[in-house]
Amino acid sequence: MLVTRAVHFSFPFLVHYCIPIDSIRFEPINQIKSIEETDLYLYGIESNNIDLSFKIINLIQQNKHLHCISLTNDEGKAILNVFQSAGSRYDACYKIKEVNDLANVDCHYIWAKNKLNRNTRFSSESDMETYIIISLKNANNKEFEYVRNLLKKYSANNLIDSQIYNQFIFGNAYPADIVITNESNINVFELKKDHLTLSQIPQIEKEMKKHLCYSLFSNRIRQTDTNRFNFYLVTLRDNNNTPFRPIIEDKYWNLCENISTHRENTITFVEYTVNDSGLSFEVAPQ
């Protein structure tokens, strides 16, 4: 993951770190390097892959107002190669060091930060997202099993064979919370830490429209055999959700009318609960 305000590397099935830049200092300083867009451009020429370099440069230019950008494997490898081959030593006027003894963020850290031993919900969607992403890095976690079962509802949608991203941009400056892709399916998870309310519906409709449309022919994901888009709306389990689900579902199917000829589209309402054993997901009752 490319970042501006956080140290946040998230390549599929690798270690996940997310540390606010304000809470960490780097040492040794001579291991930090910087690159410019021209370095990416020259790398594209030298590697005979200028299209990839242009795609990365455009991604950065169009979305630099965001705090982080999720990278595909090809994008991540290209940027890493540029850092290693053309990176300049970071020029700092003072030596910086780590503070607050914060080295990495794991599920235990997020659990404690949100006081989930006595609270029934996350304090923010970003913490909820981080907890899920870290959990999905370990196939032995029960959260991994919950998500795998959600995906298995649709054919050829195996989590173990998928790429997992957070804050993923399909083609515009509007990232999806969690995206899981494989050869046949695009799965988008939008996370709400609380129960549904009427005031949330316009924002949810906007999210559905953006992800439905911009995922159709995104050049950032493989599209050869992708024939299904699955939208999962994850909210806190609460009886107050019930009257709003039909409203959201109607809006979803209305949005799908213009693109139904390109692929199959689905929507699933998911509710989460927090208990002593961790995070649980269940498909919401109809």
Domains in the chain, start-ordered, CATH in brackets?
Answer: 2-89 (no CATH), 107-283 (3.40.1350)
C-alpha distances (whole Å) from 117 to each of 84, 123, 124, 209 are 43, 13, 16, 36
Q: How far is 33 from 128, CA to CA, in rounded Å?
A: 31
Is residue 71 within 8 A of residue 169, CB to CB? The reply is no
pLDDT tens digit at each of 286 positions of the chain = 444 333 333 434 333 333 333 334 445 555 677 788 888 888 889 899 888 888 888 777 776 666 667 888 888 888 888 888 887 776 654 444 444 454 456 888 899 999 998 899 999 999 999 999 999 988 998 999 999 999 999 999 999 999 999 989 987 768 899 999 999 999 999 999 999 999 999 999 999 999 999 898 888 887 667 889 999 999 999 999 999 999 999 999 999 998 877 889 999 999 999 988 889 999 998 7
Instruction: Give the three-class secondary structure for 143.
Output: helix
Is residue 14 within 8 A of residue 164, CB to CB? The reply is no
Instruction: Give the three-class secondary structure for 124.
Output: coil
Looking at residue 212, its pLDDT comes to 94
Tokens of 278: 């961790």
Beta bridge partners of 278: 275
Is residue 144 within 8 A of residue 113, CB to CB? The reply is no
Looking at residue 99, its pLDDT comes to 44
Looking at residue 248, its pLDDT comes to 98
Q: How far is 235 from 145, CA to CA, in rounded Å?
A: 18
Is residue 274 within 8 A of residue 119, CB to CB? The reply is yes
Q: Residue 138 CB: number of other CB atoms within 10 A?
A: 12
Q: At a CB cut-off of 8 Å and minimum separation 6, what does 94 contact?
A: none
